[in-house]
Structure 1
Amino acid sequence: MLVRLFRPLAYIPLCVLQAAGIVLGWIAWWTSGTYRQRLDANSARAARFAGLDYIRLRKSSIAEHGKGAMELLAAWLRHAKDVAAMVKRVDGWEHVEAALAQPRPVIYVSPHLGAIEVCGIYISMNTPRIMAALYRPPKLKWLEPLMLASRDRERGRAAPANAQGVRLLLKTLKEKQSVYILPDQAPGGGEGVWAPFFGQKAYTMTLLPRIARNSDAIVLFCFAERLSWGRGYAMHIRPMQGEFTGDALADATVLNRNLELTILQAPTQYLWSYNRYKRPAGAPAPESE
């Protein structure tokens, strides 16, 4: 019912949706002290770490946060072929073709960077394999049916971030298919380790390195970058640098370093407002504390 209700809004021109998003981003920044402080602190930390212009990064990120929220209407509710058609340029697709030529599963790793839903749909629509996408249900429960409408279609399988979802990921990898994971959410206590991320320790998932090693999967990092003026998106795909060895801390460090390299391709489009450095319930304190 929600899908039918909101679908007409999804076909509002992308430039209009994103323009409204810029306004929304600034409203959120001015009206929510917690949101503002977190975005400011995380973007300042990244700017110091990478030698970026902090003022420019923060200002652009505020607008990009709002664009990301509004474009979800198009990504979730347009027909999959129409979402994929919004991608105007692809960089690194040869890595996907090389991976698919091997009899091994593929794990696509995409941080909260650019248009994460567009990225997953484009890959799913342009590869022949089933793709299971791990997701965490949104805090606003009424949004979950809209999210599932996007991820559980065509060759997609929606895998909730719980034991049932992990079993689906393992089954999909065993079948030599593909998995899509957003790795930069803080995992539950006992499901991660503290590893450096933009100069500060962040509680980092151990699931991704573990299943990648156990399944002998090829790991590719990817994201869909927003083009200016609502012109669509540019896909970026690259292979992982380094390898997972089975040591939890070393593997988490490799994962986060690859995330940093990916994010720094379009740093203004990263979700700096996310509480990446929180200590989840049940997690040990970082050694520095």
Structure 2
Amino acid sequence: MYTKAYRFQGAFLHPRYWGLWLLISTLWLIGRLPMAWIVKIGRKIGRLLLKIGGSRVKVTRRNLELCFPELSEAERETLLVRNFEAIGVALLEPGVAWFASSRRIRRISRVEGLENIRRHIDKGQGILICCMHMSCVEMVCRVAAEYLPFNLMYRVHDNPLYEYISNVRRQSYPYKGRYIPRKQVKDLLHFMSKGEMGIILPDQDMGKKRSLFVPFFGQTAATIPSVSDFARLSNARVIIASYYLDENNQYVLRFSQPLENFPSEDNVADTIRINQLIEERIRQHPEQYLWQHRRFKTRPPGEPSLY
């Protein structure tokens, strides 16, 4: 899909898309507000979503119970509120990510560790960036595109108009990355083997097929060993990326040093290591992680559902 230009379709003018057109227009307008205003509005939206309730609230509350048993119920409820506030902000962030100027993006962001990537890319060494589903992931992709080209593996959106608009806007970034559908793994491996940078987010439950059951936040979690597999197949160095929105409404993106002795000959040990590194970074800003996902849905044989 990334190999061809995204083309406007006459069907996008059908009334069933009018609501989304209105939403995109609203995002465009909101994206012109100061970040402090956007954050304030987003937090109110998040609190409204929490009051409306539904399955996502139940899943989030259950995930917090499973992952933070050391917290009191009141502390977890506070974390729940802050998490939905972050989700509310994330809903507005495309208005900035898609439409803001480079000057503004650089003003509201800070990137650390770029040299850890560049010194390898400059030598023709492929890099695999391991990310996680923090709430600001769309915004951080925009920040990264100010400095580096990349190949990101992603899930194609179910709504074709949203898919069209998001990818057209992403192709307007200073560095035009390739957004590669999940099923096209060989393409990602190809680009990394040529010395380019690839990005994956391996922190979600993808079912039993090919998954290993390894620890994550004290629970057994089905985890695909994609980081070690991809690094081995492409001969890429692995770097962990962490990112969050700080108290000054500035987006912080930080790249680690390349992992040493990775991948090893033990896929299980490698996957445990990656989960530990991801967990460490989530714990730094747990209110900004996507707890709405049923991370522990797939259970080992004989174990009851946690949801």
Match of 2:279? 260
Contact 1:191/1:205, CA 8 A, preserved across alignment:
yes
Give the C-alpha shift of residue 255 in structure 1: 1.6
Match of 2:241? 222
Alpha carbons of structure 1 residues 277 and 150: separation in structure 2 relative to 1, 3 Å: farther
Q: Distance in 1 between matches of 2:98 and 2:45?
A: 19
Q: Distance in 2 between matches of 1:50 and 1:92?
A: 33
Alpha carbons of structure 1 residues 174 and 94: separation in structure 2 relative to 1, 3 Å: closer
What is the CA deviation profile of residues 193-226 of structure 1, one whole-angstrom value per residue up to 9, with x for unaligned ones?
2221111122212222201122221211113311
Match of 1:235? 253
Match of 2:190? 171
Alpha carbons of structure 1 residues 24 and 210: separation in structure 2 relative to 1, 3 Å: same
Whether 1:74 aligns to 2:96 is yes
Q: Distance in 2 between matches of 1:146 and 1:220?
A: 30
Amino acid at match of 1:263: I
What SS is found at the alignment partner of 2:68? helix
Match of 1:10? 31
Q: Distance in 2 between matches of 1:23 and 1:85?
A: 25
What is the CA deviation profile of residues 44-103 of structure 1, one whole-angstrom value per residue up to 9, with x for unaligned ones?
32223699953442232121121112212211333456434421x333334234433443
Q: Distance in 2 between matches of 1:72 and 1:245?
A: 38
Match of 1:202? 221
Contact 1:18/1:71, CA 8 A, preserved across alignment:
no
Q: TM-score, normalised by structure 1?
A: 0.83
Amino acid at match of 1:237: F
Match of 1:183? 202
**Structure whose CA Rg is larger:** 2
What SS is found at the alignment partner of 1:125? coil
Match of 1:282? none
1:122 pairs with 120, 131, 143, which one?
A: 143
What SS is found at the alignment partner of 1:264? helix
Q: Distance in 2 between matches of 1:51 and 1:107?
A: 38
Q: Distance in 1 between matches of 2:82 and 2:151?
A: 32
Match of 1:132? 151
Alpha carbons of structure 1 residues 157 and 258: separation in structure 2 relative to 1, 3 Å: same
Whether 1:286 aligns to 2:304 is no
What SS is found at the alignment partner of 2:263? coil
Q: Distance in 2 between matches of 1:51 and 1:91?
A: 34
**In the comparison of the two structures, how many residue pairs are matched?**
278
Alpha carbons of structure 1 residues 58 and 256: separation in structure 2 relative to 1, 3 Å: same
Contact 2:130/2:239, CA 8 A, preserved across alignment:
yes
Amino acid at match of 1:90: V
Whether 1:157 aligns to 2:178 is yes
Q: Distance in 2 between matches of 1:242 and 1:272?
A: 31
Contact 1:109/1:222, CA 8 A, preserved across alignment:
yes
Alpha carbons of structure 1 residues 60 and 198: separation in structure 2 relative to 1, 3 Å: same
- Indicate the larger mover: 53-62 or 1-10: 1-10
Match of 1:106? 127
Contact 2:205/2:297, CA 8 A, preserved across alignment:
yes
Match of 2:50? 29
Alpha carbons of structure 1 residues 276 and 147: separation in structure 2 relative to 1, 3 Å: farther
Task: Please list every run of 5 or more consecutive structure 2 residues that lacks an aligned counterpart in the other structure.
Answer: 1-7, 9-20
Query: What's the % identity of the aligned pairs?
Result: 22
Task: Please list every run of 5 or more consecutive structure 1 residues that lacks an aligned counterpart in the other structure.
Answer: 280-284
Give the C-alpha shift of residue 20 in structure 1: 1.8
What SS is found at the alignment partner of 1:195? strand
